[in-house]
Structure formats: structure tokens, C-alpha cells
Amino acid sequence: MKPSIQDILKLAPDIDRALAEEHLQRLGEDYFRSFALEDICQHLRGLARLSAEQPVVVQSISREDLLELTILAFDYPGAFSLIAGVLSSSGFSIQSGQVFTYRAAPGDAGRRRIVDTFLGQVDTDLSREEWLALFRQRLREVFGILEQGGDDAGHRARSRVNEWVADRLALLSDEEKAPVLYPVELTVSVQAERATRLHVRAQDTPFFLYTLSNALALYGVSIERIKIRTVLGRVDDEIFVVGSRGKAITDPDELERLKLSVLLTKQFCYFLDRSPDPSVAMDRFEQVLADIIRTPRAKKFLELISDPDAMGDLARLLGTSDFLWEDFIRMQYESLIPILKSHIPGTPLAIPPEKIRQALEDELAQCGSCEEAQEALNCFKDRQIFLIDLENILQHGGELDRLAEHLTALAEAVVASAADWTYRDLIKRYGEPRSVAGLPSRYAVFGLGKFGGAALGYASDIELMLIYSDSGTTAGPDRISNAEFFSLLVQRLARFIRARREGIFRVDLRLRPYGESGPLACSLDSFCRYYAPGGPAHSYEKLALVRLRAVAGDADLGRRVERLRDELIYLKPDLNLEELRNLRALQFDEKNRPGRLNAKFSPGALVDLEYAVQILQVTYGGRYPQLRTPRMKEALVQLNATGVIPREEAAVLMNAYRFLRKLINALRMLRGSALDLFLPSMDSDEYIHLARRMGYQPRKDLSAQQQLHLDFETHTAAVRAFARRIMGRESLPATSVYSVADLVLSDKLPDFVEDQILRKAGFRDIPRAAYNVRALARRASTAAEFAPLAVLAFDLLQHEPDPDMALNNWERFVSRIPYAAEHFDVLLSQPRRLEILLGIFSRSQFLADTLAADPEFFDWVTEPRNLHQARTPQARLAELHALSLENQDTASWRRALCLFRRRELLRIGTRDIYLQAPIENIMQDLSALADSILTAELERLSGRHATHRTGGGSLPCVVVALGKLGGSELNYSSDIDLLILHAASLPDPEAELLREHIKNLLSDLSAVTEAGRIYRVDLRLRPYGRSGELTVSLPVLADYLRHEAQLWELQALLKSRVVGGLQGLAEEFRSLVGAMLPELAPPAAEIARQVKKMRQECGDLSRGNTGVNVKLDPGGIRDIEFLVQAYQLALLRRHPELLCANTLTALHQLDCLGILPSADCRRLADHYRFLRRVEHYLQIMDDRQIHTLPTDSDYLVRLARRLYGHDADAVTLTDQLNACMSEVRNSFEKYLAQLG
């Protein structure tokens, strides 16, 4: 039933009346039937918070295993699709939901708002709080883009969501990805003119709602309302939409096109993870669909791409290459789709390499002129490049050796045919070139560079050199010199082969003698003189001849030149390494940009690897003929086979070569250019797309771009180490690109380089850090296997508060485990565990020592179910009960208890410093741990105790926690304050037996074992303190309170809580406290006077400290606790609900009862949390009961970084601490005075 405005304002007077009236007017009856009045008011409170700075609000309610989310936001085109995408990509599986949108107001007055509710399950290793934080962050990012506006705002927001969806899809198993395209039943009906109803029934699959709503958004319709229901894996959703004019879609043809568009888009979205650039793939699919959807061929198109393999291939192609899209797919998609549909996996799309030359000759045989042959040759070339690229992308996963073989065969055929046609056309006019003796002058064409090395990749150019055998003149009517003839041949050959884009089969002649200033064609004599020892050739040009390989022209001449090359380069080596080093420095200056990495020219990139390998080939080629190969991979194999480089290094270099070639190929596909080989910024979308193009898929804790980053750093470091050894340390001109991988892979680096690497990561003790890195590397199977992990670790360490401490502790931890290599493998495959480990090692020496002593704890604490989910008392007690059964003797039981506590403290501390769990949760968890240990100890002792009074063996007492434990506010190093109570009277034997058991309890808890101490137990808060009885009867306690107790003892009783013992006796104790505290509390003025005096005495105790004491100094924790306790005692008679042990709970009660102003209560609660967190971080460092900040500036900086993050400094901490404690002290004095 729709409420009235009075109903809303009566229940929630804080709600703006105008907003409530608009809410009532602009939402339909379905909304008000769906929600109770309390829910509606809660929605209004969220909607009231919306602004340009906060365009979306998320409300959540946990319902056992389910989570209910309400999303309140301004409405934007496609908003629901984006919400569905964020939900799905975050692991939220929707079971039911409803979506409501404000109806358009007359004259478009006011912004439209949405109220979307979902009930579902979350599939995540994160805690619920962490997941909600991530989900809210993503929604804020998406709606922030929409709120910024601009013509492309919707596109940018959708692109962001598509990236998340693709990443999530990549993490799903093949079974989860629904390889079958399940049929979708979609029926359409029109509800008057208000909306069109789409009724969807289908098998539920991942991202179903996102893909469906995305299809609607892309078609341009607006979603007004949705009802979501999923039952037994079947979707039954109702979606109400309007067209672009805000009314129902009624045209039958338009409805049919809508259905078809929705079905096609929905199916396509399932394959976004196969695309390197999901957003671009989606955009291009939209363009293809827009062209086809309005043609008679639309249904035929649906048949063609209803096949999952064809749809997946299409997604991969549409997001792979701008070049392929612009030059081929966009213009030929109608012919491409049948190829995808009909081709059998494994069968070639392009002509096989061994048949290309004959196929091209057959094609050109039909041509009647050189012009026709040129056109036919380039059409053949372009078509085969497209099909080769297509085949490589779809069938071989971008495998470069196949691609290189195929493209090289095509280039050889194209160059040979182009040279042949050009030669024959030239001799028609000029006649055959002849020598001075009248003999034919032959020519041969040679490939150099990538072409000569049979290593062509995507967008490679073709580096050529033409050599002719003899000088002379031609024999035709227009006689010219052979030099002119062959120069014309080269010139026309270069024009004959048209490059569709710059760098893609572009003929490059710059490696000929004298480069661009030399003749286009070179005589054999000139070749020999130019490259002879002492000749004018630069050492780089001589090195380039390693790749020289005959590809066209006269085969005999080609072989002869290759033999001459061997004599000139291998048998009479004449390389000047200084020339090569100078050239490399020049290349670095010209080809690099500050702060950018280049896949070809940065230190350690492809050029350095090629130079170093070719230098070794030239150096040892005279002795080992098998090294005289133009192919890099073969050269590496033979360098190892001949013993020039060891097997392990050869394997590392081979992997680096494959990686760098693949990277260059991916960059060229990304940009459609052979020239721009700079890596994008790592935090850019382009970097993500580059990683995907290289075949990286997100892993659970490691993104695709992180994997690319690790591999680049590792492989280039390996190349740098190799190049330094071959070419000298001076050969690599820049040290700014060096990383920890260089430290791992090099035997020795110059001191200034090591210093640079380590200081950049935040280390202060450089020699120690270098030692630790190398010591860790020695524990790995090989240095090359450890290098990626070292890079990943340093990426994390530079954001840690104390990298030196973290690395020291990691080295110590690894030195104590027998399975270091396995440990490294786990950390590299699960980087979140590495992040946790380094976080612990950087923030807590106590927890680091715990791990060093018991390394097996690490696997347990990093299990998501242990780390992210709160442990229940039942789970703890069950484990403790099992430990008690396993450890019957006292010594082993004490050790087991101690280890149990240390492991639990490790878990709690990790939640604290890694998950940044709320401080109240940490205090509660520490207290619950102590409760469990006390309960287990009582149960163990009870098993030995049986009397006629207790029968079942329970001890005839209760254990009452006081102080921090009583308030569930325990620190890491707190004592536990206890009070042991027994019934009115016990026979002497039973009383003596009880005392013995309590002594055993205290001994068990306080004993120091080889695993440490469990707790320091303090009984001084019992009546008469140390001089009182160990156990106290309830009547004695009552009498003491009535006649002897001071105010501080009443304060202590406020924080009392029963943790174990006889239930009946526990109830009696609670009743006694509830009755006596209000009765015994002195007048408010006296309470205020005594509390003020006690605080002065506490302040006197801390005055000897040089640093700030966050507990005892004015404005410290004691001020808040004493102020709250003063108000509790003074007002208990009037407000019994103030009887609670926890400080934050008591503050909340003072707020709710209106006793103190709400704003001040909230500020005091925030200050209390802050001060307790500072205290926790002081104590977790070394497990010491410390409350005073040290004066050492370095320590303060590290403490500030532990609290605020890596960029914080000591000033940040001291400023906040001073402001906090000043405000706390002012509140303490103000409200204590008011109480008095």
C-alpha cells in the first residue's frame, strides 16, 4: 500500500519533505507494494545523499549466506546494464531483484533516480566488508564517469565495466563459461503506451543479466523496471522498456529487430574474455550489428554466428588489431563470418608456406602486363597477410615461429616475383646487362635483418640488398650501365611491392653499403671492398651481414656471396666493439624517451640480445661453422651445442628472445605500426590490452598486466647481464631501467647501480639488502626462476613502511624452511600471499618471529577461510578440546596452548595490518581468543573435578573478566584481569581443591614454555588485592563492595563480564552487579571530583616519559574511558541500559539516550579508535606492553607509515595525535565539569 507523506515524515522526520513527495509521485504502485514503510524511508535517506560528488549510494544487509544490496543513484542511459556488469564482475550472483526508475516528470523537472535491489550470493575470497568496499569503489568509478558527462561518458563507463567483465570471465572454468549457447525464450508484449514488456526465460549462465541488459542499452532503449527471479538454475525475468521517445515500442518490425539485437549481443558478450580489447570488440560488434540488423540478411547472420566457436573467434578478431579491422574486417565482415563458421579447426586458412610461391606464380601467369602483375601481386599479398594473421590468431594463439615461417615464405615469393617481373620489363627497353667481356651479368637479392633471419613478424618491413656480378652495360637499344640498370631494378622493385600501411611489407634498403647515400644496387666487387678488413664498413654493418641470406635472383650468385660473407665476417673477423658501443649509445639517445620502455631499443631489449648473439657468432664462427646461420634461434642452439654459452643461459636467452619478439609483434598489432615500440604506461588500458594480445590471462591474484610487467623486467635483466658480459659494462648506456632482476641475475653489478636499484625501492641499508636478495636467490632452483618473484616483491616492498625490516625477515624465514623453491613457486602463483607475508614482515617483528619459529603457520593464516572469516567460539573450542585430548601431560598441554595462541595472534594481527579490519573487531577477536583459552582450561580442569555439589565435574565457581578483557577491548600484549568467585560456602576440602585447581589454571596460563608465555594473569582487582583470598565468595564480594570498595573498584566492576563457570552462579553475580552499582555509586559531583583526581595521578605516572603516552597522558585513552565510566556510574539509577563493559558501546548508549551530544559522542568514539590503533601498532611491533611513542624520528616515520601508508611522515602522525588528544582533553574537562 502506498504510504502518505505524513506516514513517511512521522517515521522519519529527518527526511526532506520535497524529496519524499517527489518519491511518492514518480514511482509506480509496484514499488510501494514491494517495500515496507521502513524500507522506503531507508531508500529516501540514501537518495538524499546523492550529489554530483556522490552520484551513487549502496545500502547492504547480510541475510545469513545471502547479501541484499540496494543501489540508489541518479539515472543515466544504460545505468542498469553498468550496475549488472559491476555486480557480475565482482562475483555477485543474483537470485532475485527489482529495479525501479523515477517516471519522467512534466517538463523534465528534476533528475530521475533509480532504486535497484538485489538478493544474491558473493563468490569471493574477500571478507564481506572488503568485498563491499571494492564493489562501492567500482560503482563510484563508473557513476563518476557518467556524472562527469561528455559525449563519450557512456562509452567510457561501459569500457571500464567490459574490462572487469572480461577479467572475471577469464577466471571462470570452461564449464562455468557456458560453452553451449543456451537458447533464450524472449516474448514481447506492450502495456498500453507506458512500456514494452520483455519476458525472458532461459538457462542461467554467468553474466546473464549483464549481457541481456547490455544488449538493450546498445539498442538504445531505456529500462524502466525489472523483476528478477532465478529458480533452480532457470532465469525468469520481466523487463519493462521504453524507446527513445520515452514511450512503448509498438512497431512489429522494430520489436523484431530489438529481439534479434538482444539475442545476438547477449550471446556475443559471453566471449569478451577472448578479446585482447573487450571494449573495442564490443564497439565493433555494435557497428557490424547496426549494419546487418536492418537488412533482410539479419536472420541468416544469426544462424552463422550462433556457433560458439565462430562467436569466440569473432570476439578475438574484433578486439585484436586496428589494422585488421580498418583494412579488412570492417569492409569484408559478410565474407569473414562464413569463414569462421565453416572452417575446421586445424585446417589452414592461408596457403601453406611451401605452396605460396607456386600459387603466386599461377596467379601472375594470367597477367598480360607488368601493371596487371603488380596489382595482382599486391592483392595476393594483402589477402594472404590477412589470412596468415587470421590463422595465427585463431589457430596458433599468436605463436611466432609459425607466423615467421609463413610471412617469410610469402615475402620470399613476393620479392622473387616482383624482381622477376621488374627485370623482364626492364630488359624489354634496355636489354640484358652484360659484363665487359659480353657475358650475362647476374644478380641476386638478399634478405637482411628480420627477413634475412626468417623472423618476420606482424608489420615487419623487408630489408633487402641487391648484388650484381659484373660491371658493364646493357645489350638493348637504350644502353645504360649495369649500375644504372640494377639501380632501376631495385627502385622499381621497391615500388612494385606496395605497403598497405607503414612498415607492413615495406621495402627497406638502408642496410646496403653506404646506406642511404650509396647506390641502390651493389656490384660484387664493391661488396668485397666495402666489407673487407680495413674497409669503410662500420662494425654494425659487418654485424648485419650475419643475417644476410639469398632470397631471389640467381641462386649460384646467391651462394657465392654467402661464401664470401663467411670469409669476410667469420674467417677474418674485424669487429670493433668500441664502435658498436658508441652506436648503441647513439641508438639509446635517439630511440628512447625518458621514463618510457622500448621493446626494441631499451637496455636489455631485442637489439642488445641480437648484437650480443651476433658478436659471439662472428667471434666463434671461424672455429665452429654451425654458428654461421642467419637465424637467431638456431644460433642460440648452436652456441650452446658448441659450449660457447652454458645450457641454462641459452634457455634463458631463448625465452627472452621469444618474449621480446612476441611483445614487439603485439605492440605492432596494437598500434598498426612497425615504428612505435614504446610500452604504454602500466596503469593504462592500453597496457592491459597489450598484455591480453600477448596471451596473458588474469590469474586469481595476478592481473594480465602484472604478468607482462614481471616478464619484461626479468627477460630484459637477463639480456642485460648477457650483453654486459659480451660487450662490456659500458655497452648499456642507461642504468635507470635496472631492477632487482639485474641484482638477481648478475654476479656483480657496479656499486652505484646496486645503490640505485635498492634506494629506489626504499632501502636504507644497501649492503644488507643486496646480501638478502642474493641469499634468497641462492635458495631458489635457479636465479632465473627467482627473478620474477623478486620483481614482484620489490613492487610491493617499495610501498611497505619498512622495506629493510621486511627483506631481513623474509630472508630469515626462508633460511628456516626446507622447501624454499616450493615456497617461491606458491608466492609467484598466489601474489596475495606474498603481499600478506611482506606486510607482516614490514610491520611486526613479533609476528615475523612467530612465522620464523613456526613457518607452517603461514599456509594456515593465508587460507581465505581463516583470514577473511571470523572464527566462531565453537570452532576455537572444538580445536582446543582436540588439543587437550592429544596433550594429556601438563607440559605438552601448555606448549600446545601457547602455540595455539601464537597462531591465532598471527591470524588476528594479519587481519589488523593487512586487511585493516576495524579496531573494535580486532579488540573483540583478541578478547574472544582469551575467552576460548580460559573456557578450554576450565573444561580441562573440570574433567578432573567431581563433587556431590557439581556432579558433572564443573568447578564450583565462575571466572569473571575485568579491565580490557571484561570490556572485550584486549590489546596484543594486555594482561588479563580475572576475579574468581564461588558460592556462599564450601566445605574445607572442596574449597582447598578449588584453590588447587585455580592455582593450576594460573600456572597453565602464566607458565613460560619454549614457545613463550600464554598470558600474564592479574588477580589484583579482587577484594583486598594481593592480600585477599585467591577465590572469593559472592557474599564476601557483596560485603566488600558495600563497606570497603573505592570508586575505582566500582569502575572496574563496570567492566566485568563472566567468561566461564556455573551458570546459576554467573546469573547471581550479574544480578548483584546490576543492583549494587547504582546503589553504591556516589553523587555525580563526587564521581567527577574523584575521577579528575585519579586522572591527575595517572598523568603524574607518565610525566617521566619523554614521548607521548597515548594511554595515560592528558587526552589519552584513559580520559575517554574515565569520562564514560563517570557518566555510567552517575546515571545508572536512571538509565540501567548504561550498564555495559565496552567503552564504544557505552558511548553509543550515551548518544542514543541524548545524555551527550551526538556529534561529540561520535568524535570521541573516532578518537578512541584512533588511539587504540596507535597503541596496537606500538604493541604488535615487538609484543611489548608499551603505550609511549618513542622519540626516535626514524621509528616515528615507520609508525606513521604503518598507520597511514607509505607516503606518510612523522609530522602527519604527531599532528593528528596532538589534535586528537587536545580535543579529547577538552571534552573530558568540559563534560566532567558538567557532570559535577
Decide: 1032 and 980 in contact? Cβ < 8 Å.
yes
Q: Mark out the alpha helices in 369-479 (DSSP H runs).
A: 370-395, 400-430, 449-452
Q: pLDDT tens, 850-892? A: 999 999 999 999 888 888 877 889 999 999 999 999 999 999 9
Q: How far is it, in rounded angstroms, from Cα 1023 to Cα 1085? A: 26
- Residue 1228 grid cell: 573530558
CA distance 362 to 492: 22
- How does 347-383 read in b/e, with b if 16+ C-beta sit within 10 Å? eebbbebeebbeebeeebeeeeebeebbebbbebbbe
Question: On the CB side of 1110, how many CA atoms lie within 13 Å of its CA?
Answer: 26
* HEC letters along 578-639: HHHHHHHHHHHHHHCCCCCCECCCCCCCHHHHHHHHHHHHHHHCCCCHHHCCCCHHHHHHHH
Whole-angstrom Cα Rg for the chain: 39
Question: Count of CB atoms within 10 A of residue 399's CB?
Answer: 13
Q: What percentage of the chain carries pLDDT values higher than 90?
A: 51
What is the predicted pLDDT for the residue at 330?
54
Within 13 A of 927's CA, how many CA atoms are on the CB side?
Answer: 26
Q: What pLDDT is attached to residue 174?
A: 57
Question: How far apart are alpha carbons 808 and 738 in whole angstroms?
Answer: 22
Residue 504 DSSP label? S
Q: Which residue's entry shows cell 632501502? A: 763
The pLDDT tens digits for 128-173 are 888 898 999 999 999 999 999 888 898 899 888 888 888 887 776 6
Q: Which residue is it, cell 564497439?
A: 283
Q: What are the average pLDDT values for consecutive 10-residue runs of the chain, which has 1236 residues? A: 88 87 90 91 92 93 87 90 89 87 71 90 82 92 92 88 82 57 71 74 72 73 79 77 77 78 72 76 76 67 63 75 62 59 64 94 93 94 85 70 92 96 95 93 96 89 95 92 96 90 78 93 95 91 94 96 94 83 79 83 91 93 95 96 94 95 87 80 87 83 89 93 83 75 88 91 94 95 93 93 95 93 92 93 93 92 83 91 92 92 93 88 94 92 55 76 94 90 83 87 87 86 83 91 90 93 92 92 92 81 72 93 95 93 94 90 95 91 83 87 87 92 95 89
10 Å CB burial of residue 1079 (0-12, 13-18, 19+) is exposed
Residue 1071 makes CB contacts below 8 A (sequence gap 6+) with none
Identify the pLDDT of residue 228: 80
Domains of the chain: 1-40 (no CATH), 353-574 (3.30.460.10), 577-656+672-689+698-737 (1.20.120.330), 758-843 (no CATH), 911-1080 (3.30.460.10), 1084-1235 (1.20.120.330)
For residue 101, the SS3 value is strand
pLDDT at 945: 44
What is the rounded distance in angstroms from the CA atom of residue 672 to the CA atom of residue 895? 66
Q: What is the pLDDT of residue 491?
A: 96
CA distance readout (Å), 176 to 17, 81, 173, 1227: 48, 21, 5, 58
Q: What is the pLDDT of residue 182?
A: 61
Task: Determine the pLDDT at residue 433.
Answer: 96
Length of the chain: 1236
Q: Is residue 107 helix, strand or coil? A: helix
pLDDT digit string (tens) for 914-953?
888 889 999 999 999 999 999 999 988 887 544 444 444 5
In angstroms, rounded to a whole number, what is the distance separating the alpha carbons of residues 1229 and 773?
54
Q: In terms of DSSP bridges, do strands 1032-1033 and 976-982 run parallel, antiparallel, or are they unpaired?
A: parallel
